[in-house]
Amino acid sequence: MSSAAPERCDAVVIGAGPAGLAAGIRLAQQGLSTVVLERHYLWGGLNSFYKKGGRRYDVGLHALTNHADRGARKLPLPRVLRQLRIPLEALQLGEQLGSRTVFPEASLRFSNDLDLLRSEVRAGFPAAADAFDALCDELAALPHAVEAGPQSVRAHLLERLGDRLLVDLVLHPLLWYGSPTPSDVSWPLFVVLWKSIYEEGFARPRGGVRPVLELLNGRLREEGGELRLRTGVSEILHDGGRVRGVRTDGGAELEAQLVLSSAGWPETLRMLGPEFTDHARSAPIGELTFVEACMHLDRPAPELGFQDTITFWNHADEALYRSTGAEPYDARSGVLCCPENYAGQEPETEGVVRTTILSSAAPWRDLEPEAYAATKAAAVDAAWEEVRRFAPDARPHAVALDAFTPRTITRFTGRLDGAVYGCPQKVAPDAAGLTGLQILGTDNGYLGIVGALVGGAQVATLSGASITPRALEPAPEA
């Protein structure tokens, strides 16, 4: 097992989600000996998959944002795939059939063609239609990465569109798809979300998230990188302002010049030891977390009448997007996903529908097993009581159900409080101020699977270029 001398490599990546895997590939491409460490026995992080009772479950979004055709080389998805040397065709993307944002008083349909949303707004909110068109045009002219803008995007949109319901309807899917901030979103993240969802749109890789993760893992291997599962990092080792490696949960040391952490910002600070304790305590932990339930049905979901690809609902008096505080869940705001409703999906004998509702970490933390199971079941039922107001009730057709809570998220991803979208205060990759330590993933402010790939690849490319592989140092190579 462990020898006297610690193992050495050029770069260590903490966490094998999409960001960590993309980073690992880019580091290995540069000729750096690279090890990706993952505490869980599966890779994928917040976008993973598992099997239970012989059925396959994807966690996370069931889809990619940023859909783009092969010719659109400047867009994030083709661009990052090119960097990772993965042909776009390999993902076999199918575009969404159409989604909706649904409030009690009104709803809007949208697809990967922004013109549908524009025409919906023109039909439902004629007074605001010109202002909405102007907003669309203005956002279309912006790049994905913008500097800080209006303090409150909600207030900004209200001022421009002059209709609270319209603002709520338009913002709802964007907040649900990736804002770590309650009820609002920062301007840079809003621009990314708008472009990723309304301009480019949803697409699903044939077979779900698993084939994407297989491709990433395969590319990592081809480039000579190594993925080590069941190997968590307990501590990031550093001396005199410079990183020197990591200590694993098993106590082994792994020396490296470069450590890239996708564990999250507050989570990474906690690995840095006593001198960072105060810093770690003051780093805010995201409050947005969810209860998600995947239901397998005795027939394809479209046969039961599920037509939308994704439905974002809000049945509360005001648009609800925040932690549920002392309550374990609040089903008045949520998301219904039908992964079958993408073009070109393999026909399945069993249907799948997924519900996601607002939650909060604290109420789940100390529940005894029985109460935990009962609360979880109640949360799933509450979700379906809301869904049946705008879609069929799938419960009579359920053949299998699995749900997860904030506690599950923390257990399998290490995210404190199950904070799916990370901490509200996004940080630069070098925020820790230690030479050789870079932060990547959600807490850099990127969105979804594609954002994670883009961010991971970029941080790894720039930081990897700054070091010399050991193999190139004077010592002769075998």
Partner 1 sequence: MSNEDIVLAIKDIIATIAPDEELDGLTLEVPLRDQIELDSMDFLDIVMELRKRYGVNVPEEDYKNLATLQGCVDYLGPHMADKELVVS
Binding site for partner 1 (CB under 8 A): 29-31, 73, 79, 82-83, 85, 458, 461-462, 464-465, 468-469, 472
Q: Residue 79 or 270: which CB sits closer to partner 1?
A: 79
Q: How far is the CB of 289 from partner 1 (least distance, A)?
A: 34
Q: How far is the CB of 219 from partner 1 (least distance, A)?
A: 13
Q: Residue 161 or 454: which CB sits closer to partner 1?
A: 454
The β-bridge relationship of strands 242-248 and 233-239 is antiparallel
For residues 34 and 22, give the distance between their C-alpha atoms in angstroms, rounded to a whole number.
12
Q: Residue 48 or 458: which CB sits closer to partner 1?
A: 458
Q: Residue 87 or 284: which CB sits closer to partner 1?
A: 87
For residues 220 and 226, give the distance between their C-alpha atoms in angstroms, rounded to a whole number.
7
Please give the structure tokens belonging to residue 139: 């956002």
Q: How far is the CB of 475 from partner 1 (least distance, A)?
A: 13
The β-bridge relationship of strands 226-228 and 99-102 is unpaired
Number of Cβ within 10 Å of residue 332's Cβ equals 16
Cβ pair 127, 140 in contact under 8 A = no
Q: Residue 142 or 472: which CB sits closer to partner 1?
A: 472
Q: Residue 234 or 468: which CB sits closer to partner 1?
A: 468
User: CA end-to-end span of the chain, whole Å?
Assistant: 23
Q: How far is the CB of 204 from partner 1 (least distance, A)?
A: 25
312 phi and psi angles, rounded to 5 deg: -105, 115
The β-bridge relationship of strands 253-255 and 242-248 is antiparallel
237 phi and psi angles, rounded to 5 deg: -90, 135
Q: Give every CB contact of residue 102 below 8 A, 6+ residues apart in sequence.
A: 311, 312, 313, 314, 390
Q: How far is the CB of 176 from partner 1 (least distance, A)?
A: 30
Q: How far is the CB of 139 from partner 1 (least distance, A)?
A: 22
Cβ pair 159, 166 in contact under 8 A = no
Q: Residue 31 or 182: which CB sits closer to partner 1?
A: 31
Closest Cα partner for 172 from 334, 396, 344? 334
For residues 226 and 217, give the distance between their C-alpha atoms in angstroms, rounded to a whole number.
9
Q: How far is the CB of 30 from partner 1 (least distance, A)?
A: 5
Alpha helices in 35-98 (DSSP H): 76-84
Cα distances (Å, whole numbers) of residue 121 to 46, 165, 199: 33, 11, 15
For residues 314 and 357, give the distance between their C-alpha atoms in angstroms, rounded to a whole number.
10
Cα distances (Å, whole numbers) of residue 368 to 18, 328, 365, 407: 33, 14, 9, 12
Residue 30's Cβ-count burial label (10 Å; 0-12, 13-18, 19+) is: middle
Cβ pair 422, 310 in contact under 8 A = no
Please give the structure tokens belonging to residue 323: 């932690």
Q: Residue 157 or 452: which CB sits closer to partner 1?
A: 452
313 phi and psi angles, rounded to 5 deg: -110, 155
Q: How far is the CB of 2 from partner 1 (least distance, A)?
A: 30
For residues 76 and 59, give the distance between their C-alpha atoms in angstroms, rounded to a whole number.
23
SS3 of 214, please?
helix
For residues 314 and 392, give the distance between their C-alpha atoms in angstroms, rounded to a whole number.
17
Q: How far is the CB of 23 from partner 1 (least distance, A)?
A: 14
Q: Residue 377 or 465: which CB sits closer to partner 1?
A: 465
Q: How far is the CB of 68 from partner 1 (least distance, A)?
A: 14
Q: Residue 215 or 361: which CB sits closer to partner 1?
A: 215
Q: Residue 229 or 472: which CB sits closer to partner 1?
A: 472
Q: How far is the CB of 32 from partner 1 (least distance, A)?
A: 9
Q: How far is the CB of 29 from partner 1 (least distance, A)?
A: 6
Q: Residue 72 or 106: which CB sits closer to partner 1?
A: 72
Q: How far is the CB of 178 from partner 1 (least distance, A)?
A: 23
Q: Residue 174 or 258: which CB sits closer to partner 1?
A: 258
DSSP per position, 81-107: HHHHT--GGGG-EEEBS-EEEE-SS-E
